[in-house]
Amino acid sequence: MKALLSLYLIGSVLLCSSQDIASIAKGDIIKGSGSLSFNQIYYNANGKMPSRNPYSYLLNGSINLKILGYIDAPFNFMYSNLGSSYTQPTFNQTSLHPRYKWVATHFGTIACSYSSYTVSGHLFQGAAVDLTPGNFTFSAFYGRFQKAISSTELTNSTMLQPAYKRLGAGCKIGYNHPKLGHWGLVLFSAKDMAKSIVPPSVGAPLQPQQNWNGSLQMQKNIFKKLSLSAELAYSMLSENTKVYEANTALPTLLQFRNVNASTALYKAIKTGFTYALKRGSLQMNYQRVDPFYRTLGAYYFNNDLENISAGFTLPFFKQKVNLSANLGVQHDNIKQTKLSTMNRTVGNLNLQVNASKKLNLNFNYSNFLSYTNVRPYTDYQNQINPYLAWDTLNFRQISQNLSAFLSLQLKADTLVKISLTHSLNYQIAADQQNQKLINSNAFFNANLAFAYQRLKSGETLVLSVNAGRSTVNEMQLLNISPFVNFSKPLFNKTLKPTLSFGYTNSYYQGVASGGTFNMRGMLNYTFQKVHQFSLSVLMLNRSDRPATSLYTHQTRSNETTVSLVYSVNMDFFNIQKPKKEKGVVSVKAN
């Protein structure tokens, strides 16, 4: 039994970041809990094709074993008139994270994030350690970043792609000091095992790769109010380790094993300044990433870009008003190797007003503008494809978003809470080519809500109205939707009835195109805190005008859905650690 339990501890799926060994010694051995729910649904439709069966049922159940207070082993099953399923803890992605004081270890399927330019969230199977004894920190890992997949395995799955077995290792050394700041060095290397598979004879060529990567990080207060953060990273990547031709372009210092004609060196830099004002702060950031910069320690990477951004945060009137703004410009083709250059400008403005404890206002505006510049026509005279007209790349993309939110507490005491909220959102997106808008979309949405709540009884009343308008090129749609919701708990809040009404009136090109009325009633009952019964009735009535609606075969339809659900949540047992005074294992069943 002990051997099986040990094996299960290693193979269970862990849903936590780390396990403190000292805490595990104090926790329970195993605790079992679970839930069960049974849902029955009745459905009826008139005037339209039914969208589901007249009667359906669904039985859900789950059992979870919590071992040593950290390990979760869930077992789930589902059975219905449409089918059934069962899941249990699997062994394909398992991880253990034992930790003791300043030593943290990780085993199994794990991921490390040292920096965005080196190792950033790539899953691998292996081991890692984090040491934080004091001012110095040290982290290291080793494992398999990619499983070998041969061409013979592709016959069973079209989702797989052939791949070499890839091993990787890395470390990070850091130093933190109140005056000297933070300094860090990251080193990473990954290599494909060329003999792990036989390369496929058909399809795209597959070559083994190797990557050496490193970065230097720092964050320091230069003056009392000025702080600097920076990271400089280099990535040397060999696209094909089987190439025997030497690389004479790289320095002699970098001419070591597997450096060949397919090897290239790339650079990335990121810096930022923050200046603390008496109230607020100023920020400025700069980022530059070489074209084709890539690391095998990350899944995806943006490269060939230069980005400059600046912003500020300023509070006014004793921090009742907070204003913040950011503006950034970005472009690609930083080495002028492409025929076109994409430029982007992004701005954001946010205003937050806390006028009082009862009145709050938030305003936000953001815009996105990108445009493409092309080289002179002489650069295109020798292009092979005659259908690539040079002036088709002269275009702009414009996007703007404006939102506002207002919250007003009309009354707030120990008995009653009354509030009024209002929100607005406006968004426009357009494409411009040769000074002409070829696509223009605008969306507007407004909502006004009134809420009344009795705190002791739990009685709640909500009245709201929502209006939405969208313009897509020359087509205009308008929806107006009032809504009412009322609920009042009864019998010491064990029974909670809820009733809601809603109506949506639609307009197409200014002409009424129909409406939808829905009424929903819910009744929830809780028994002994673990048993819950829920009855829900939804009635939906739709009316459409054939002249302006897509529903050309009927003008009215209605649907009725009735749902009855029973659910229970409870703890089954709890096996505690042996008590010192008795020396026996305590088992508590519920």
Query: Residue 585 above 50 pLDDT?
Result: no
377 vs 46, residue with greater confidence: 46
- 72-86, 156-170, 351-365: which is most confident: 351-365
**20 confidence band (pLDDT: 50, 70, 90):** low
Task: Please tell me the pTM assigned to this model.
Answer: 0.75
Domain that holds residue 283: 101-149+162-303
What count of Cα atoms within 13 Å lies in the side-chain half-sphere of residue 255? 10
pLDDT at 15: 35
Question: Can you list the pairs that 402-407 forms with residues at least 24 positions away whose Cβ atoms lie under 8 Å?
Answer: 402/364, 402/365, 402/426, 402/427, 403/363, 403/364, 403/365, 404/361, 404/362, 404/363, 404/364, 405/361, 405/362, 406/359, 406/360, 406/361, 406/362, 407/359, 407/360, 407/361
Q: Is 435 helix (H, G, I), strand (E, B) or coil?
A: coil
Residue 114 lies in a domain: yes
Q: Model confidence over 209-261: pLDDT tens digits?
A: 999 999 999 999 988 889 999 999 999 999 998 888 887 778 777 777 778 88
Q: Model confidence over 370-423: pLDDT tens digits?
A: 777 665 444 444 444 444 444 445 667 778 899 999 999 999 888 899 999 999
Residue 273 lies in a domain: yes
190 vs 390, residue with greater confidence: 190
78 vs 17, residue with greater confidence: 78
pLDDT at 25: 54
Closest CA to 475 of 502, 443, 515: 443
Residue 144 lies in a domain: yes
Task: Locate all alpha helices (DSSP H) within 48-95, ordered by sequence.
Answer: none
Q: Are strands 263-276 and 495-508 parallel, antiparallel or unpaired?
A: unpaired
- 337-341, 433-437, 469-473: which is most confident: 469-473
Q: What's the token pair of residue 388?
A: 């690539």
Q: What's the CA dihedral at 7, 11, 15, 19 to 10 degrees?
A: 40
pLDDT at 14: 37
Residue 274 lies in a domain: yes
pLDDT at 462: 95
Closest CA to 536 of 484, 500, 494, 492: 500
Query: Residue 299 above 70 pLDDT?
Result: yes
Mean pLDDT of 45-57: 86
Query: Residue 306 above 90 pLDDT?
Result: yes
pLDDT at 202: 65
In total, how many domains does the chain have? 1
Query: Residue 18 above 60 pLDDT?
Result: no
pLDDT at 216: 97
Mean pLDDT of 563-587: 69
**580 confidence band (pLDDT: 50, 70, 90):** low
Query: Residue 80 above 70 pLDDT?
Result: yes
Q: Is the dihedral of CA 381, 383, 386, 387 positive or negative?
A: negative
**587 confidence band (pLDDT: 50, 70, 90):** very low
CA distances to 76, 120, 136, 211, 235 from 117, rounded to whole Å, are 40, 7, 22, 13, 8
161 vs 40, residue with greater confidence: 40
Residue 287 lies in a domain: yes
pLDDT at 118: 94
Lowest model confidence (mean pLDDT) among 200-204, 336-340, 387-391, 521-525 = 387-391
12 vs 290, residue with greater confidence: 290
Query: Residue 132 above 70 pLDDT?
Result: yes
pLDDT at 374: 61
**Average model confidence (pLDDT) across the chain:** 83
Residue 531 lies in a domain: no
90 vs 264, residue with greater confidence: 264
Which helix H or strand E contains 312, and what residues bound it? strand 305-316
pLDDT above 90 coverage of the chain, percent: 47
506 vs 535, residue with greater confidence: 535
Query: Residue 45 above 50 pLDDT?
Result: yes
pLDDT above 70 coverage of the chain, percent: 82
pLDDT at 312: 94
| Distance of alpha carbon 220 from alpha carbon 274, whole angstroms | 11
Q: Model confidence over 481-500: pLDDT tens digits?
A: 999 999 999 988 889 999 99
Instruction: Please say whether the beta carbons of 314 and 321 come within 8 A.
Output: no
In the block, tokens 């939707």 appear at 481
Residue 3 phi/psi, 5-degree rounding, is -65, -40
Residue 390 phi/psi, 5-degree rounding, is -70, -25
Which helix H or strand E contains 158, and what residues bound it? none
| Distance of alpha carbon 9 from alpha carbon 2, whole angstroms | 11
Q: Model confidence over 434-446: pLDDT tens digits?
A: 666 677 788 999 9
Q: Model confidence over 309-322: pLDDT tens digits?
A: 999 999 988 889 99
Query: Residue 480 above 60 pLDDT?
Result: yes
Residue 219 lies in a domain: yes
Closest CA to 421 of 435, 438, 409: 409
Q: What's the token pair of residue 499?
A: 């009733």
**70 confidence band (pLDDT: 50, 70, 90):** low
Residue 543 lies in a domain: no
Question: Beta-carbon neighbour count of residue 385 at 10 Å?
Answer: 5
User: What spatial distance separates the first Cα and last Cα of the chain, rounded to whole Å?
Assistant: 24
